[in-house]
Chain A
Amino acid sequence: MPDTRRSAASDGSIFVFLEQTDGIMEEVSLEVLGEARRLADRQGVSVTGMVLGENVGGLAKDAASRGADVVLVGESPLLKDFATEAYLKVMLPNIRDRRPDAVLMGATRNGTALAAGLAVRIGAGLMAHVIDLEIESGTGVLLGSVPGFGGSIVAVCKCKGRPQMATVRPGIFKPLPANGSNPGVIESVPVDLRSEDVKCRIMQRSVRRSEDISRAERMVIAGLGCKDNLSLPRRLAEALGAGFGVSRPLADKGLAPKDLVVGSTGYSINAKLAVVIGVSGAAHFVSGIRDAETVIAINSDSSALIFNHADYCAKGDLFKIVPELIAAVEASGAKGA
């Protein structure tokens, strides 16, 4: 039975779960660690990191040089792959004993599941995939900005009681550079696990990461209006030397990899130019192009919501406009220009 008691006392420190996959640290974990360091310095408190896995000593060392005062390391073959229940079992006593003021982690899929389980177990409030963290003046309480309604609204939340918890959306904070003169302390923690503690056994895994569309300078983004054939928008992307992204339903239908999805459950793009083709402009999509500098939208429906979020609104049939546009771009040699 989960323990719902809340501990009033805390040691003031910030605890960061550092997630690794296949022995590689998730970038967001270092981003959270850097932000934890900045928050801790303002409050004059310490930062504790925790890495779980098999042979992860090297990752712990790196984390210690990038903002953690102490890095706790739990190693076991049973921790090699992420397993919510087993990870939770190892983390729990460490969090109970140390009584941190805040527990932070990356809002990856695993991070979200782990944080939610931990929050229930220790009776803590949990702010979801925050896009900003600040300290409330006067109270010292952590304020997290939580996007809702597809990202069109942000709720500034705080937690009652201790520890305060938050998961952080990837790509929001900058990691600190490694600082060799500040090595931090590495401590190994006891791991008491049996194979039954891994309740979901991984039988097979297939991973192929695509390019990171959040870094592309130019983007072509295709929506359901492009139907089942993405060769036209792909060719335009190629002609423009641009990255290629899709709205979520195209990935759900298996027509494009999931890591090309733009939007609240996908990536936010930072391109100077985004050409958005056959996308209606639902809130969950639009939040992903908010930071694009110039948006061109092509849509046959003049009342499409996407036109409220575009600088240039080309009304017409994409199957006619895009081939012409490819020809025009190729003729002018605009690639990379």
Chain B
Amino acid sequence: MKSIVCVKVTPKVEQIKFDEARKTVTREGVENEINDADKNALEMALQLKERHGGTVVVLSMGPPSFESHLKLAIAMGADDAILLSDRSFGGADTYATSRVLAAAIKRMAPYDVVLCGEASADGSTEQTPPSIAEWLQVPGIMYANSIELQGNRVLAKKSIAGGYETVEAETPLLASVELGCNSPRFPDFRRKRWAEKEFKLTVWNMQDLGFSPTEVGLGGSLTEVKELRNMSSRKRRGELIGGDSKEVAARLGQIIRSVGG
């Protein structure tokens, strides 16, 4: 079986700074990492491979600097990695992002399952996975936390408000994988060395996917950002409470009584 895992490389959200004057997000000097939920998606694909054989390919859209992160996915156990990289892909909204990812997935056909994370840490729109499913015209199962495969039949358990649902569908299909539903494995040391020295990443640009600039990136996006606003958190007192635990507890008890609530 063949799984394709869509992996987004996202900045560490805690390190992001907001430029009040220019109303932009400063991404310089911020560490990037594989989006958390995408590590869960990759782990799920690797477990499916362990049970059913086949291959796992990771797919990402972004700048060439993402190469090192995709190599980390290879070190974790993915068989191949494809980076969709082209200046024209920049500034994509979910419509343009899902369109490019779906075109690449079609080029990689046949495949059995496409796995995405449930949400990215940065944009977090949760719209990319169901949009890709629609471009591909395959069933979409969102917020899956386990997948069983029997031939071309898939049984998936997914989270819904207040509980879960088990659904059945046929491959090929797309599932978004719930953040934290498994423990992603660590990169294998020897695979890591191999990935860094010998593995060759495949890079596809706009021409490879047959798009024109009006169909991808900023030009192909159907939403635009007019302004960025800082959601500065409320001003808090930040009063430090020290002492031994008895003293701390007594002071907290006092505070609780005084604020009521």
A: residues with CB less than 8 A from B are 1-2, 6, 21, 84-85, 88, 108-109, 112-117, 119-121, 123-129, 143, 145-161, 199-210, 217-218, 240, 248-249, 252-253, 257-259, 264-265, 271-273, 275, 282-284, 286-287, 290-291, 293-296, 298, 305, 307-317, 320-322, 324-325, 327-329, 332, 334, 337
Contact = CB atoms under 8 A, between A and B. Distances in A.
B245 interface: yes
A290 B226 CA distance: 24
Given A126-B127, A272-B261, A290-B231, A305 B14 contact: yes
9 pairs of A and B residues whose beta carbons are closest in the complex: A252-B180, A125-B222, A272-B261, A324-B249, A273-B261, A128-B125, A328-B253, A199-B139, A320-B245
Given A161-B222, A204-B166, A315 B242 contact: yes
Contacts of B256: 240, 273, 275, 296, 329, 334
A316 B143 CA distance: 37
A248 to B, nearest CB: 7
Contacts of A296: 252, 255-256
Given A313-B241, A316-B248, A117 B261 contact: no
Interface of B: 13-14, 16, 18, 25, 93-95, 98-99, 119, 121-131, 133-135, 137, 139-143, 155, 159-170, 173, 178-181, 221-231, 233-234, 236-242, 245-246, 248-253, 255-257, 259-261
B259 A253 contact: no
Contacts, number: 288
A126 B238 CA distance: 39
B19 to A, nearest CB: 11
Contact of B238 (A120, A283, A311): A311
Contact of A205 (B142, B165, B233, B253): B165
A127 B223 contact: yes
Most central of A217, A291, A313 by chain B CB within 10 Å: A313
Nearest to A147: B231
Most central of A114, A248, A249, A294 by chain B CB within 10 Å: A294
A315 B248 CA distance: 8
Given A311-B236, A321-B249, A332-B257, A159 B223 contact: yes
Contacts of B135: 2, 120
Contacts of A147: 124, 231
Given A113-B140, A328-B253, A150 B228 contact: no
Contacts of B227: 155-156
B164 A290 contact: no
A337 B260 contact: yes
A133 to B, nearest CB: 13
B134 A121 contact: yes
Contacts of B139: 85, 199-200
A263 to B, nearest CB: 11
A82 to B, nearest CB: 9
B162 A259 contact: yes
Contact of A321 (B173, B228, B237, B248): B248
Contacts of A123: 95, 222
Contact of A153 (B94, B230, B240): B230
Contacts of A21: 161
B261 A293 contact: yes
13 contacts: A120-B135, A128-B124, A152-B16, A153-B231, A157-B225, A158-B223, A160-B222, A206-B164, A209-B162, A291-B234, A294-B255, A310-B238, A334-B257
Contacts of A208: 162-163
Contact of B228 (A113, A154, A161, A201): A154
Contacts of B16: 149, 152-153, 283
A150 B121 contact: yes
